[in-house]
Amino acid sequence: MFSLKNTQWGSLVICWRAVASMAWSVLLLLPTTALFVLLSRFSLFHPILWMSECLSLLTSASAIFSFILLCGVVLMVGFFNLEYYTVVPSIACSKIALLGQVLHPRQFVHSLVHCIMGVVVAWCCAFTIGGRYRSLGHPCTQDESGPEMCLNEYHLVLLLAGAFIGYSHSLVGVVYNMNYVSFHTMQQYKYLRFKGALPLVVKASAVQALYCLRSFLLLYFFMGYAPRAWICKTLDLSINSSIHSLDSVSSLLDLSLLYHLWISGTFLLLTWYITVLLFRIFVTEVYSFPVQSTFTEDAHQCLPKVITGTQPMILKFLALQDLALLSQHSPSRRLEVFSLSQPGGHPHIWTALSKECLSLLSDLTERLVAHHDTVATNGRAKSQSTGSNKRSTTSSEVTSVGMEDMKTPRPSALIRTPGSVFLRSSVGAGLRTPLTTPFTPDLDSPFSSPALRRLTGPLEPQGALSPGFSSIQSPHVMRRGPKLWSASTDSQLNGSPPPSPGPAPSPSQAQLKPSFLVTFLQNRKDQVKNFLAKRMLIMYLFNKLPEASSQALFADSQVHIWALQGLSHLVAASFSEDQYGIVQTTLPTILSTLLLLQEAVDRHFKLPHTSSKPGHCSCSMGDDSYKTLRFALRSTLKTAVYRITATFGGHLQ
Amino acid sequence: MHHWTKYVRVVEILRIVCLLQASVVYETFLTDAHLRFEANLATFYRIRKDSPALNLYFPRESLKPHSRQESSSKSAFRDHCETLYTRSAGAWRDAGLSGLLNEIANSSAEVPKWLGVSSSCVLALLRWVSSFHSSLFPHLTLSSEEMTAEFSQVLDWSDCAVRGFAWHPHTQKCAVALSDDSIKIYNPKSATTPTLKHRLQRSVAALQWKPLCASALAVACHNCLLVWHVDPTSLSTRPSSGCAQVLSHPGHSPVTSVAWSPNGPLLVSASPRDTALLVWDVAVESCVPLHRVGGGGVTYLSWSPDGSRVLAATPSSLFRVWETRMWTCERWPSLKGRCQSGCWSPDGSRLLFTVQGETVIYALTFTDNPGVPLMMSGGPKAATVVADLSETTLNTPDGDIMVGGEIQSLAWDPRGERLAVHVKGDAGAGRPAMIAVFKTQISPAFKLLPCGFVQGEAGTEPRLMQFNPNYQHGAQLTVCWSNGKITHVPFCFMSAGNPQPGLGGSPSFPLTQGRPADYNNQTLYTELIS
């Protein structure tokens, strides 16, 4: 009931913002259209005629009709933005996943509607440009048969170009995550942000239209006859044989046609991009949540309540952003956070906020550790594969010996990370995170004696010795496996532990002594995989994209960045502002969580597949800031730890 | 406001001669109640013992300046038999449209006549437009090196052996930029002194360490920004150029000033050629340009220590104060000339700045909340003159000396108790460049008292100064001299804000105002509290 109310209210907030952005984009359509009219009818040698023609066109009734059509398209685009936006980008880890995204029914609807809207906009453009583009049919006199309607191919090309650009907009949107809404580090007023981004958007739409046009012309050159024949057949138009058809090199290189196609494409993309831009700006605007409410009816709108909610996701993002900002900029709201509840004197607000932030951060730590386990297991398999087959069988024996030790899981085995000195203070928080994989590959190597293994067995985390790992697979497949399939399949295949807290259940007897049938089946499976892996196309489709898994891990890290900023600023401010000392009680937990995360992040950046520097992407309109979130997280984490230690200094000892 | 020399004459002038070792200055002439002589004497000996040996000396002869010019060496290697097309493409890539036109106009033998003529015409038109533009903003006619020299905070930048100096905000570690385009990092606790060199690290104008970070150092270079990540635990003396992030933006060169936000990941950078102030998110290497009309560029940046505002000076008689929450700005058209330098009080409430061509220090007071945007709250309406440093003659035991003049830079110590003013001087008129030190008080009312001068060895003049942010016993001013020496001048005092317990419990009586007889307590400038 409560969460429902919260969800409704949250959706309402977002809806109003979207509506405001749509209203602005409709308003902005007016100058854009006027500019388009001026540019599309541009004639250098008759400036007065040009201006007067444009003015008369802009005030005519038919222009108003097409303007209303354009408004409808913009509203539709705005609606699709609202419906398809996301704050956590979906990152395809392989080509096949990307293909799946493109062919998804939801995406299909998106593409289809954008295709149709592209045609509508192109029709408006054709109408506005006038002249030879005005209508689909024109009267012509073929030989003998008298006057009849012929196909106007210029009009058709313009419509098809609109459809193509509409479709490619939708497609490029998937590939470059154009529906991803990113939040900015710097806060600016909406007008200034729009003003700053407008030149980039204009440039991006012009360039994108140029690229689209190139592809479209190529396509039309080879396939143009098909839609032409189809249109002629359905609309009962005849082809004027006295005019050359447009799918030839000479007629496609008509400069005026190219210019009109390009300017129409730019206009189409510009109006849509402006809608997207306004939507992003409006939706990511800072929302100031009340820290505590005076009335119980509004309790669901308070920061501590919103921050713990999950639906809609963007509300949680806005709440965390607000937390990060209030912790930096407003002392009065900080005082509310540090205040005690009136009857009872409990620091409810601070507890709720810090708990949520800490759980977010420890979630990330768990995720990182689990990922590292998967990759590290993979690395060990690689080292085994260099050895002979015999060795791998010995290793399986060895591991099974080790597993017998593992049959009685001990919780103490979980808390052991060499070099982690913070664990003493963090037993409470540390137990939640499975601290697997200390970097001890030599213990798991096939060369270590069983006796040694037995000695170290109880201390050994389960990641290395999980049951399925040691089955009699061919080492080559084991090496290739995680690369071939997506991450979720890996973890089952290699049997690395799921990222669940607490000790894993002890392996069943059947898994311990694999029967003949199981071995046989596994052998078959490996053979099939071996076979598939040799085919180039399959390899191409299933190969993991570099860095994609790392990007996917940190896809929602904006939340963690704000949580880190908020926590560290609040803790730093509490040094002088916290009258009741409520922050002190959570300080050890906060520090240990931060340091555990620091450890996990450091280890993640040492993995071979993660680059240590942000790369640059020249993609114009799609927001690629999700690719660099992990770097932002790393530096924010470091700064947060330094901020707390620099503020408290010697008091921490 | 009184004329400063009236008091400079009457108070005992202390000439501080900086020797090779750190010398400690005693402000015995101040009968401030907080200043306890005995306590200071105790700290004096302690400082002498544990002050780090960071007195550095860089003789100019030992530094070979870079004579390498990217364009000059290129012509020696370029194959002149290239076709016109290749050369044009190269010119387009290197120097843009004007380079392309220049190339076409120069090779008139190979191109059709109309093309050569038209490109010459367009080139002439471009030059005419740009000359018109630079008549509006005369600084645009300068070359990059001259521009850096003009707008740098270092006095006589092009002649200087030490071109930049930066203390680390949290540890006793400093970075020194030298005229051979290298940067050395000194840490008294470590034996290694890493030397940073990078292909793009040319004509370093400024450098600053990132706050709340152990290792990041931002360097303003000729045509980019470099952010070095120098691992303090590394034993390497030559960190590879892979340790540096290169941040560049088209049109943003030369970079003359950088400033880190005191509590965040942001870095602002300024170039006199670029009208936009760039705000970098260094971790992700992205930037947001903040364009505003007017000014013709940005020359100097200073972030207030509380992080709420940024001073941005322009080459024309205008400067801006940005508020960092929503990044709106306030314009301050100053009348006489461009803003040369500025510094913030530690609480970010006061800005002192100087104007080129004038010998006075102005102050602006910001009383609003840092959270509220500037436009809506009542910021200051006008700047007040707090000190006048015009030329005057002082009678000293060694004879009369001329002091005063135009101001090169300002520095305020992190506790807000000492203000160092770098006076340019005029060697021809017998006025040496020197550093005047003032005693300041920020709360409850802003006060400024003359304190003394810092002078170097005979024949040397100060070029650059900075306060050490980690000095325990008061304030320590680091000065880079024209002969390549770097010395540290400590000022020992006890902070008025938080007197240390156990060092005397006598009640502190406030400075009396309006008693002309008691010159010791008389201030040069006192803010009127209404």
pLDDT tens figures, A261-287: 999 999 999 999 999 999 999 999 999
Spell out the alpha helix ranges (H) of A176-287.
190-223, 225-235, 249-252, 255-283
- The mean of the pLDDT values for chain A is 77
Please check the confidence at residue B64 and state whether its pLDDT lies above 70: no
Cα distance from A325 to chain B (closest Cα, Å)?
9
Which amino acid makes up residue A404? E
**Chain center to CA of A23:** 27
Please check the confidence at residue A594 and state whether its pLDDT lies above 90: yes
Nearest to B370 among A184, A186, A329 (CB): A329
Lowest model confidence (mean pLDDT) among A302-316, A611-625, B416-430, B496-510: B496-510
- A398 forms beta bridges with none
Arithmetic mean of pLDDT, A142-171:
86
Arithmetic mean of pLDDT, B221-243:
89
Nearest to B245 among A187, A613, A629 (CB): A613
Kindly determine whether residue B283 and residue A632, on different chains, have CB atoms separated by under 8 Å. yes
What is the rounded CA–CA span in Å between residue A280 and residue A273?
10
Inter-chain Cβ pairs, chain A and chain B, closer than 8 A: 76
Please check the confidence at residue B30 and state whether its pLDDT lies above 90: no
Nearest to A185 among B170, B266, B307 (CB): B266
| pTM, 2 dp | 0.79
Instruction: Name the pLDDT band for A243 (thresholds 50, 70, 90).
Output: confident
Q: How many helices (H) and strands (E) does chain A have?
A: 27, 2
Peptide bond into B254 cis (omega under 30): yes
What is the rounded CA–CA span in Å between residue B255 and residue B270?
6
Kindly determine whether residue A329 and residue B325, on different chains, have CB atoms separated by under 8 Å. yes
pLDDT value of position B81: 63
Instruction: Name the pLDDT band for A500 (thresholds 50, 70, 90).
Output: very low
What is the rounded CA–CA span in Å between residue A334 and residue A323?
9
Cβ distance B295 to B318 under 8 Å? yes
What is the rounded CA–CA span in Å between residue B530 and residue B520?
24
Cβ distance B27 to B36 under 8 Å? no
Which of A193, A155, A1, A175 has its CA nearest to residue A91? A175
pLDDT value of position B525: 65
Model pLDDT for residues A447-489, shown as the tens digit of each residue: 333 333 333 333 333 333 333 333 333 334 333 333 333 333 3
E strands, A365-412, in order:
none
What is the rounded CA–CA span in Å between residue B505 and residue B13?
30
Which amino acid makes up residue A192? L
Set of chain A residues whose Cβ sits within 8 Å of the Cβ of B265: 185, 632, 635-636, 639
With pLDDT > 70 as the criterion, what percentage of chain B qualifies? 76
Cα distance from B148 to chain A (closest Cα, Å)?
28
Which of B498, B432, B507, B480 has its CA nearest to residue B157? B480
Kindly determine whether residue A636 and residue B265, on different chains, have CB atoms separated by under 8 Å. yes
| Closest B-chain CA to A564 | B264
- Most A CBs within 10 A among B286, B329, B374, B377, hence the mutation to make, goes to B286
Nearest to A189 among B212, B289, B326 (CB): B326
Set of chain A residues whose Cβ sits within 8 Å of the Cβ of B266: 185-186
**Chain center to CA of B219:** 13
Which one is predicted more confidently, B374 or B123? B123
Question: How far lies B319's CA from each of A24, B197, B297, in Å?
Answer: 34, 34, 10
Cβ distance A406 to A465 under 8 Å? yes
Question: How far lies A626's CA from each of A99, A180, A553, B356, in Å?
Answer: 20, 9, 11, 45
